[in-house]
Amino acid sequence: MDKKVKQEIKTEETETKQLTINSLESLGPYILEQDNAKNFVYVSDVPQLCKDEPCMLGVDEAGRGPVLGRLSGVLLPNMFGNNELVFLSGPMVYGIAFCPLSKKDVLKQLGFADSKQLTEEKRDQIFDEMNRKDYAVESLGWAVEAISPNVISMSMLRRTKHSLNEVSMDSAIGLINAAIEAGVNIAEVYVDTVGPPEKYQAKLKAIFPKFKITVAKKADSTYPIVSAASIAAKVTRDHALKVWKFRERPNEEVNSFGSGYPGDPTTKQFLGEIDLVFGFPRLVRFSWSTASNALEKKAYDMEFEEEPDEKATQKATYGSEKLSKYFSASKNENRKRHEYFRDRCLEHVSEI
């Protein structure tokens, strides 16, 4: 075989191997290769048993709201004049897990329980075992979709609003379809609810009429297969935050935002450093009213040449200072120019 062809085949095999998650150790490097401004979906290898035998499938999420994720939100007293719950959420991750109905003992053996009641170390351990242990790999599969905070914000702020509930349901439905396309023989579906469980269940039943579908509150603490999905989602989200790459701050140290808890001075400092022009980095969901309120108090207002109409003048605007102030600093003011302008060697000129 031609040497060049052999090298190309070897390169393709290496790239495929790098894109496989087969342990906790391989999770971070896989996420690091993804564009965190976009969604990504990962589907594990499907065991042959899951294709041959009828299976149960569980659905759950991580990072939806302030009480559901390790770094979902922090309360910052007096930072912006009053108590503000600022969302340092990163992605919202939806997860599914599936295994044959005859293999319920595998779920028990792995120790699946409500992931919120487990420590981070225990969740990591279970995730690693479900991808390494032979008895688990032969009968259990999983998939996740990481929904970028940037996509969430754009969905909620676009002209035709797409609520967080709709984003969540679309992700769950997409992952179920992904399992079907991968050949999983689904018989029963168990889902941790978003909104009223009856309406959600009716919606899923209309889309997947052949499956027995159960939608319930706190399903991850009731159904082990939902707990398995929850662990896949939560561990993926935790590690996505650990390897988060800041586009806005290329020199930012890894995890420069601290633990995310109110008492962490690193977190307070990170969230207090609002860029007066560009606001928060994409890690923060800018569609949340708390983030908007913080910008309103600190960020520069926008100034347009065209005269606004009456309706526009009645709308709330960010901040009380004009954006033009950024370009007209006092001679006595020693202020460092933003990295964006320094990197591009842009200078302020008053005459052309």
DSSP 28-81: HHHHHTS-TTS-EEEEPPPPHHHHHS-EEEEEEEESSSTTTSTTS-EEETTTTS
The CATH architecture to which 24-65+85-297 belongs is 2-Layer Sandwich (3.30)
Predicted pLDDT of residue 203: 96
Beta-ladder partners of 60: 95
For tokens 């290496």, name the residue.
Answer: 14
**Average pLDDT of 308-328?**
57
Predicted pLDDT at 5:
41
Task: Give the per-residue pLDDT at 259.
Answer: 46
Q: Report how far residue 43's alpha carbon sits from residue 27's, in angstroms, rounded to the nearest whole number.
A: 13
Residues with Cβ within 8 Å of 351's Cβ and at least 6 positions away in sequence, in order, are none
The confidence band for 309, taking pLDDT boundaries of 50, 70 and 90, is low
**Top-confidence residue, 242 or 94:** 94
Residue 114 · residue 227 · CB < 8 Å: yes
User: So what's the pLDDT on residue 308?
Assistant: 55
Number of CB atoms found within 10 A of residue 196's CB = 11
**CA angle at residue 149 from 146 to 154, to 5 degrees?**
115
How far from each other are the two terminal CA atoms of the chain, in whole angstroms? 63
This prediction's pTM? 0.69
Give the chain's largest Cα–Cα span: 78
* pLDDT-based confidence at residue 250 (cuts at 50, 70, 90): low
- pLDDT tops 80 at residue 192: yes
Strand 40-43 vs strand 141-147: parallel, antiparallel, or unpaired? Answer: antiparallel
Q: Name which of 114, 113, 103 is nearest 136 in CA terms.
A: 103
Any known ligand binding at 60?
Answer: yes
Task: Collapse the DSSP code of 171 into the 3-class scheme (helix H, G, I; strand E, B; otherwise coil) and give the result.
Answer: helix
Please answer whether residues 151 and 38 qualify as being in contact, where contact means their C-beta atoms are separated by less than 8 angstroms. Answer: yes
Express each pLDDT in 56-84 by its tens digit. 999 999 877 532 223 334 333 333 344 44
Task: Find out whether 275 is annotated in a ligand binding site.
Answer: no
Distance (Å, rounded) from C-alpha 98 to C-alpha 275? 44
Does 128 show up as a binding residue in the annotation? no
What's the average model confidence in pLDDT over 334-344? 71
pLDDT number for residue 288: 53
Checking if the pLDDT of 196 tops 50, the result is yes
Q: Where are the alpha helices (DSSP H) in the chain?
A: 3-18, 27-32, 48-52, 104-110, 120-132, 134-137, 149-157, 164-181, 197-207, 224-242, 265-272, 289-298, 310-314, 339-343
Rounded Cα gap, residues 53 and 100, in angstroms: 6
Distance of CA 235 to the CA centre of its chain: 11
The residue whose two tokens read 């994720």 is 69
Closest among 298, 289, 352, 291 to 323, alpha carbons compared: 298
